[in-house]
């Protein structure tokens, strides 16, 4: 378990090291990782609690950090910038865990007591194909917002920043995307997926 008493304020990363990382120097990236790994681990532990996949969360933080470090301008402390990335990763993990737990609860309510038959597998594959067809019928702008929000777990604000649009536009597109997807998916499932034998 990480030391819970140590403060993030003690993180001391030089501007020179950050500059080298901004120029994608692999040695500098490794040095930054070595200097900050325990701080990142501790921040994630504080934000997300003990997680079996903690090292995956740490890796997500560093992937986000090294893909965005060029935008760090030094207006705030580097520890604040890194904390923001940790916060976003932890929030995304919490949203994903919530969705997974809701799905797991639904699945438990309808237990499968027998192994899947080839017919069950074919029906599952057809259902997945129907989802992809319904997504494919959406205009790109609507499909992008729907996938980023529903499947990738990004927030409206994150999507707005990513696509350089207003957050209100995200919510409008998401509303239309859901409506169009539901209509298309109902048609797909009604007309393409055979009823399960009873």
pLDDT digits (tens, 9 = 90+) for 114-150: 567 887 777 777 777 777 777 778 887 888 888 778 7
What topology is assigned to 116-192 in CATH? Arc Repressor Mutant, subunit A (1.10.10)
Question: Could you tell me if 62 and 19 are in contact, meaning their C-beta atoms sit under 8 angstroms apart?
Answer: no
Question: Could you tell me if 53 and 92 are in contact, meaning their C-beta atoms sit under 8 angstroms apart?
Answer: no
Q: How do the domains of the chain map onto residue ranges?
A: 8-96, 116-192
Q: Name the class of domain 8-96.
A: mainly alpha
Residue in the block written with tokens 């067809």: 133
- The answer, as to whether pTM is greater than 0.85, is no
Residue in the block written with tokens 């003690």: 10
Average pLDDT value for residue range 72-83? 83
Report which DSSP code applies to 198. Answer: -
Tokens of 165: 């649009």
Rounded (5°) CA angle 106-44-91: 45
């Amino acid at each position: 378990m990480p030391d819970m008493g140590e403060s993030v304020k003690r993180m001391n990363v030089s501007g020179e090291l950050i500059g080298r990382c901004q120029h994608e120097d692999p040695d500098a990236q490794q040095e930054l990782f070595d200097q900050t790994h325990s701080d990142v681990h501790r921040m994630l532990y504080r934000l997300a609690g003990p997680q079996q996949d903690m090292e995956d969360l740490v890796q997500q933080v560093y992937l986000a950090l090294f893909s965005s470090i060029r935008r760090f301008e030094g207006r705030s402390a580097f520890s604040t910038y890194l904390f923001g990335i940790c916060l976003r990763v932890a929030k995304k993990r919490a949203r994903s865990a919530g969705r997974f737990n809701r799905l797991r609860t639904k699945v438990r309510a309808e237990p499968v007591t027998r192994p899947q038959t080839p017919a069950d597998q074919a029906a599952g594959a057809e259902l997945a194909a129907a989802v992809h067809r319904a997504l494919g019928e959406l205009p790109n702008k609507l499909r992008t917002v729907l996938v980023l929000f529903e499947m990738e777990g990004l927030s409206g604000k994150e999507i707005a920043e990513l696509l350089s649009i207003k957050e209100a536009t995200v919510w409008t597109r998401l509303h239309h995307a859901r409506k169009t997807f539901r209509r298309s998916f109902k048609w797909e499932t009604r007309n393409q997926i055979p009823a399960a034998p009873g």
